[in-house]
Each structure stands twice: as structure tokens, then as C-alpha cells.
Structure 1
């Protein structure tokens, strides 16, 4: 059952043809949808009983739960979508009026009309032969030699990815959920990169993992309600390409993260619009199925409870949600970027200035405002098209994908980072005060904390690891001016303990295990043979680790 006041939200997506640009905002003539959140099981049962009398049972057939999750404590268990049809109109009239009548109103937490939003991308239709075009991906490496839409690129006005790749190219343990128009799973650039639902048996028509979705192998199509989230527009392919297209395969483009897995949630239709209810359902799906990052390259101009509830759910479960600011060059609030827990991303040009004319159009530019967090390249971005072609895209959709890709790289260096730590590192290491007069020192409402820098962010993470210490590990003396280091620990059991010492080049200089005789103990280590420098000591017991740095100085 599924009852929900859904809003379809248009992507802030612009279609560019030749020198003209027009935002795709087709008028959808359709029956309205409503999102209803009940106050709990008792309230839900009482309302269903009321609907079942006097012909109102037809209404229940149009109600569907947002999350479908089987967990008894899932926050969306009693959030439903009510789809309009003639039977329910005859039965109850206006849902907004009916559910607020005495006897029912106290059982309803909220009821709201669903709303549409749109993608935040612009496309310049230009097919390019299917051969490597890394040299045109200025946002990865900007040589300052190219120009796009009359904008002369500036050397190093990029995300500094080459140096970042020398440290990490990503990890298959990190999953990025892409809420968009879907993707083409057969594209060469996605070979081996799609998230796989290991609990599901492909094609058997059963919900093997009991998550409410049948045969959801690599995601779900929330628009057409099936297990085939295929891109029918191209925007989803482009976003996925920027984040994680295969690299070094002598084909097309290079994605930012070359190892992460891509979970596909189709929440936008061929017109690049989608209901807020589908966006919320996609968020619940991504979080419940293990995504680390959710990319939402879309905007809507309404603040609905159903969407804010889902965003809050992701934040509470440590999932980073990266959102586009929008492409109207205004300081209005658009959602979900305006929600405080998301990372709101604006766009920069090949010269490091804020994008004010996407694909050369003076009517389309990067939005700004008090809720912006970060900027990233977004104008004239080479990525994938609908099929095996490469297309130029522009918009904060692309900027958002860039940030999601870098965030995935960052997590690959330390899986223990939480969403707030990832955001802090990206803000702290962003290139600041590099644009025009709008870009002032520190945070500003046009660039946020600055333009993202992948190498600085990843370097910071490597040099400043989040040190775990469940065993209260303490080292002394530190620095060590002799060859003896003492370590005091408070263990949780008398199980075997493994001790490692690693230098800053990643070389393991000590690796031994011991069986403790007491949970509280002090160990002595002979460091003779260790050179001067910085080391990391790691103690591991039953899967838990404590680590501390120590410095060896000249005796």
C-alpha cells in the first residue's frame, strides 16, 4: 500500500540547440497526487477502516507506501502516496478536505500535494567520435589552451585530479547512488561499475532479499515501477559518466572515481521531470541498500515534508547527499539543495569564475545564496550521451556530479569518515578567492567555501587520518628519543592482539601478534633498526582497531 502527496519536480535542465537555450518545462496535464503521513499503525488502521465503508474502499487501491521497507521502525512506514482517479474522487472528493475532517484529522501528521522538479543540467547537442577525449575534459586537467562558449580557459582552473589519482583511483567498497533519468547499463564506460544487489537472484520474479522490490539487481525505476532504470534522455548517463566512467580503457571519457560502484535510481522521466514522492522513495532505497553518497542533480521550488523527511533520514544514517543549486542565476531557494544537511553545489567556468551563461546563454547561470556550500566545474563538461557518444553538458547538475565523484575518492582513502567529516574536509581544502570579485576570502554566497580541489582534499585525509581509539591506546615517550616505546592499552577481552607499525611511505616495519594476560596492560617495543621519522602504530583485536602516531627522533 502506498499513499503519498507527491510533487513532481523538474530537473533544472536546459536543452541547448545551436546558439539557443530553453529550459525544458513541459506542462504536465495529469491528475494530482497527494502525500499523506499517518501518525502510526493505529491511526493508519482507523483511517483504512473509514475508507472501506460506503464505497471508499476504491481509495485504498490507489495508495502506495513510499519506502516499502519491511522494517517495523522505518520512518516512512506510514507515509503514503495517493494517486488520483475518478473512483476516489467520487468516494471522498478532495483528499485535502476529506482527511482533515473531524475524526480523521487527528490521525494525519500531514497531507500535501505532490510537486514536480527538474534536472539541473544543460546540454549542447554535439556528437563526438568515440575515441579518448580526456584532453577536452578541462575540469580534470586545465591546460589553459582551450576555449568554450567564448570563455578562454585558465591553466589549473580544474579539480587537480591527476595528482589525486597518484594517491587513489577509488574503491569498489564505495557506492554512489545516482537519482536521475537512469543510465544505459550496456555502455562500455559502465562495464563492471554497476552496484549489484547480492541478495537478489536476477530474473526469477521474486523479492529474494525482502526489500520490497522484485529483481532490483542494480537499482530501481521509480517512474515506471520496474527493475529497469534505463536512461531515456541522456542526463543520467552524463551524471554517471562524470562520477565514475571507466578510465584508461581507450574509450571516450575518464570518470573521476575509477573504482566506485554506481547504484541507479530512476526518479526522472523522459521530460527530465519527476515527482518529489519518487525522489523521496529513491533516497530511502539508496540509504536502505547501502549507498555512501547520493547524487541529486535536480531542483524543485517547493519545500515538502515528504522530501525533507527523506533527506533527514539519509543524514541520520550518515549518507552524504550532494545537490545542485540550480541554473537560473538567482538567489531563490530550491530543494533539496536548500535543506541544511545536504551539500549544495554551484558551478564554475573554465576560467574559475562563477558560471553566468551556461552553454553561452545569458538566461542560464549558477544559482547562489546563503545555503551554497561549494563550487565545482559545471560549464562545457564533456560526458556521455544517450548512447555510445560523447556530449557537451552544462549546469549545476554537472558540478554536483564532480563533487560526488571527489567525495567518493575521499571515502576510498578512509571508509570510516562520516558525512560531516567529508563535508568539512572538502570545505577546508577548497580553492578559495580564485574567481572574480564575487569570490571573497572565506565562505561567500556565490562560491561557498570555494572551488573543489580533489588533490588537496585527499592529501589532507591521508595526512590527517581520523584515528580510532577504542582501546584508549597511549604512547610514551612521544617523540621517542631512544629505542624504546611504551604503549598502554585497555582491551575489551583477552583475545589475541595484532600490532603493526607503518611508516609514512606505507612500509610495514613491525607486524606481530600476542595473547594478553590482562585487559589493562603496558607493552614495551624495541625500535632499534627503525629510522628517524613519523610512524603509525595500530593495535587490532576482534576487528576493532586503535591507532596512534609517534615520531622517532635522533637518539
Structure 2
């Protein structure tokens, strides 16, 4: 390129970036009226190559006369102001630069929920996924944080206020960034849609999905959440109409990762946008979450069409479809090979009842019913919190695998386009984490029978066994021989409590039986949790009594 040609291109870019007056307006439309993706008018999202970086890229564009609306240093993204109506032209001009890695429109993402019809319904979804049985195992841990990226959360809701994550490094109301994370007074989260510290819900959708995942439970008020213990990080990235830019969503995702969330729940998606996705900013955030072992759960979409909506279609996301109370695929739920799992989402006849901002309840105070893949998504997020609470050492990939492998298979056997791996089952997902295990005295799990040997000169003796569990809470256990026999007994009469941090111990004492033979029975350990869940484990016990045991003789070697 000659120098004069470069100057001409730069001038054209400046004209695109600066010409505001007279440019045709671009207005956001509701999802039902659009067939092409919406975008935020008057800006594009630019990422310079790693060798340049965001700050140097910012200086380069400013030297060329561009105006930068916002720099997102963690993702390397720049939100660059352009003339409304010339967004696509700016993308084409900027992407041709050799110092630029990617350029995209700041696409608008929408909530996936349905209109708020007046209908009172019981929480059939919790029963469908066997949540009450799962709660006998665990009700969740407060150490697990779910970041809800949506229209915000009603911070004063009686079923949500006590469940909010609190930033330990921030002092509320002092108008200062106490923890130095770049956000002032981000006590319970942040409002990325309006760039302020108040993530209160002005739509109702975000409060609804938050309650499904983690409403305060067993408090004689309102509804139950899947995880009683998990905390909710309130991240508002969608406006009062339920729409928001991908750049705000990506920034919220990175905030969630940086501030300790283990799960990001996103009941949102583009307008009829399926694979391949072109949300480079969200893809960058997804990669960041994956690299930091954070699970991102995203709605599959409510178009009833083939193809999971973006950004749920990305490989780094756990894409969630919706089922009805009869375990059928909801007619609106998108499907295809990128669908991972399904959960209760409801329909017009059987909605999902949950928390909602009180000004938007159409006569209901604090609670109402909705349906959609938006409602299915927090069921999965809440279950992920339960699984992680049982075993904090799990990776995000392992949590996802546990959710998928324990799902109730619907439709074609195995993974299919309509149900993914199946409809989640909370009880089955938690069962592997509440087991009693029999071990030998060295702490090795028993996988073969406990064997005793005896002859006329040798008594069988005794062996010490251990009882262990990975369950964090106390399990009361007892050991017995079943069926009872005369040649082996438990000594002392064994019982006690065991937790993940401590083991139980007892002896099997064997005695010489009345005749030569091989004898078998079973040692059985039964346990009961504080919630009344019964557990058991067992192993075969075998005694061989012969006239004389063969002695293994090793040859003696003499050195000359």
C-alpha cells in the first residue's frame, strides 16, 4: 500500500467514526420482529493483536481521530464510537487493518423468558428433578457463588436478599473502589448496562431466574431454590427491556470470574443466531472462564428451531433446553447437536413459579410464573452449585460431566438433538458423593473378599477394617455380620460417626470352625445421615480351614 493510499483509507475510517449528523438511525427491535441480529447503534467492538494490546490500540485510534467509549483491558476489547448507520462499514474498514485481530458489532442479547402471564403454579420442576431427595444428601454450600448475568436482581426481595454474594473487599456507599478491582461500590455485584454499582432488577427476569437457582429455602416464605446454600452474584448486563450488548455481557462474565464465581448463569441469547457464532467478545470471555475453571450455563433459545442460539452454541458453554411437566421437549425449545442438557422450563399451562421484582408482578407480590429456556437454565446452575458443594475439588468439566452422566435419558438412547444427554436429576447427580466405603487398615478400598486362613496349628486371628466417606457431614454407622455365623464376629460391637475428615474403625475376629471347609458370610456397614438418608456398604468375608496350610519355602543360596 502506498502512503497516499494509506492516508485515504485512514480518512475514510475517520469519517465513518466521526460522522454523526445525518446518518440513518438504527433502532433496536424486539426479538419477535427481527430476523437478523440486533446490535447497539453507534459503536463497534475492536480487539487489537496481542503484540499491540488494548491500551496501545486505543492510542492509535485516538491519534486517527476516533472516540473510544470504553476500554476492557482484561479482554483486550475496545468499544469504539461510530456514526449510527455506518457500523458495518466501520467493521469492514477496521478488520482490514494488519494490527487488528477482530472487529464485530456490539450485538444485542435478549432474555429468553416468555411474557409474564398471571398464573399461579406449584414448583413441579423441583419434584421432576428429584430435588427433595437430593436435599436429603445436601442443600448446598455458601462457598459456591452463582453469577447471574441478566436484568439484575431485586436486592430487597424476601427470598433473595439473604442469598446475595457480598464483596468482602468493598465498603458500601463510600464512592470508592476499596478493593481496586476497577468497580466502585460493587458490594453485591455491578450494573454493566448503566455502568453503576446498583444491579437492582428493573425488568423482573433476572430475579425470577435467580430464585430458581438459589432462593432462600425452608424459611417459611415464598419459594424454594435448587441450591439452598449457594450465593447469588447480581450482574446486570441487560436493560429494563431485557436487551443488552455483548460487550457488557462479556465484561460481566470476566468480572464474575475475577471475583470468585464458580458458575455463570446466562438466561439470554441472540435473536435467531445459531452456529457459527460471531460474538468475539463473549467468546473471549468464555475462553477466560474456561481457563479459570468456571462453568458457564447458557439458555439454548426459545425459537423452537433447529440450532442452539448464540452464545449457548459455543463449545465452552453448557447449553440448556427446556422440558414440560410431562418430560416432553417444550415446543419453543431450540434443539440440535450443540444442545447439552435439558431441564424444566414449563409452558403456558404449567409455568415455573419463582421470585420476581414486586413492581412487575401484575397483582402478585414478589412471585409469579414464567416459562422458557431461561427458566430451565438456572435449574442446571443450581444443580452445578449442589455438585460443587459436595466436592469442591472438582473441575468445571467434571461438574458438567456429572450433571450430564446422571441425567434421565429422554428420547433416543444416549445424547440426541432434542434432549442432549437428558433431563437433569439432582438426586442421581449427588448420590456418588454420599457413600460409605470399607477399607483395609492401610486405607485402601476393599475390592476383594476379606480372607482368613486356618489349620490345626494356626488360628485365623483378626483384621482391622476402616469405614470412610467423602460426605462432609456426620454419618452414624454400625457394622454387623449378615448372616450371623459362629466363626467370625465384629469386635468391639462396632459403631460411631464418620465424616470426610475422619474414619471409623472396627475389628473382624475370626475363630477356628468345627470342620474343614471354606466358609463365607458378609460384613455389612449401614449408616444414616442427619437428614435421615440410609446408606450401606458390604464385603464378603471368607475363611478357609484345612488340616495343614502349605508353607512357601524359598531356596537358600550360599555364596562361595
- The aligned residue for residue 317 of structure 1 is 292
Higher gyration radius (CA):
2
1:208 maps to which residue?
A: 178
Indicate the residue corresponding to 2:106 in structure 1.
Answer: 114
Does structure 2 conserve the Cα–Cα contact (< 8 Å) formed by 1:218 and 1:263? yes
Aligned to 1:376: 343
Of 496, 507, 529, the residue aligned with 1:528 is 507
Q: 1:64 aligns with which of 60, 70, 75?
A: 70
Are 1:342 and 2:317 counterparts? yes
Q: How does 1:387-426 map to 2 (within 5 A)?
A: 387=358, 388-426=365-403
Q: How does 1:116-515 map to 2 (within 5 A)?
A: 116-126=108-118, 136-141=122-127, 158-300=128-270, 301=273, 302-356=277-331, 365-379=332-346, 380-387=351-358, 388-433=365-410, 439-463=411-435, 480-481=450-451, 483-484=462-463, 501=468, 506-507=475-476
* Kept in 1: contact 2:407–2:425 (CA 8 A): yes
* Pair 1:276–1:334, CA change in 2 (3 A): same
List structure 1 segments (4+ residues) > 2 angstroms apart after TM superposition. 8-13, 22-32, 40-54, 83-86, 92-101, 460-465, 472-486, 499-511, 525-536, 549-555
How far the C-alpha of 1:500 sits from its partner, in A, is: 9.1
> Take 2:221 and 2:59, find their aligned partners in 1: how far apart are those partners?
59
Give the deviation of 1:462 after TM superposition: 2.8
Deviation at 1:95, TM superposition (A): 3.7
SS of structure 1 residue aligned to 2:162: coil
Q: What is the distance in 1 between the residues matched to 2:63 and 2:34?
A: 44
TM-score with structure 2 setting the length: 0.71
SS of the residue 2:413 aligns to: coil
Give 3-state SS (helix, strand or coil) of 1:124's partner: coil
1:272 is displaced (CA, Å) by: 0.6
Distance 1:453 1:533 in 2: 28
Distance 1:27 1:35 in 2: 15
More displaced stretch, 117-126 vs 275-284: 117-126
Deviation of the 1:333 alpha carbon = 3.8
Give distance in 2, aligned partners of 1:347 and 1:378: 5
**Alpha carbons 2:297, 2:377 under 8 Å: kept:** yes
- Cα distance, 1:121 vs structure 2: 1.0
User: Which shows bigger deviation, 248-257 or 165-174?
Assistant: 248-257
Gaps of at least 5 residues in structure 1 are 14-21, 69-73, 142-157, 357-364, 434-438, 466-471, 487-498, 514-524, 537-548
Q: Give the equivalent residue in structure 1 for 2:457.
A: none
- RCO greater where, 1 or 2, for CA within 8 Å and sep 6 or more? 1
The answer for the alignment partner of 1:545 in structure 2 is none
Provide the aligned C-alpha RMSD in A: 3.8
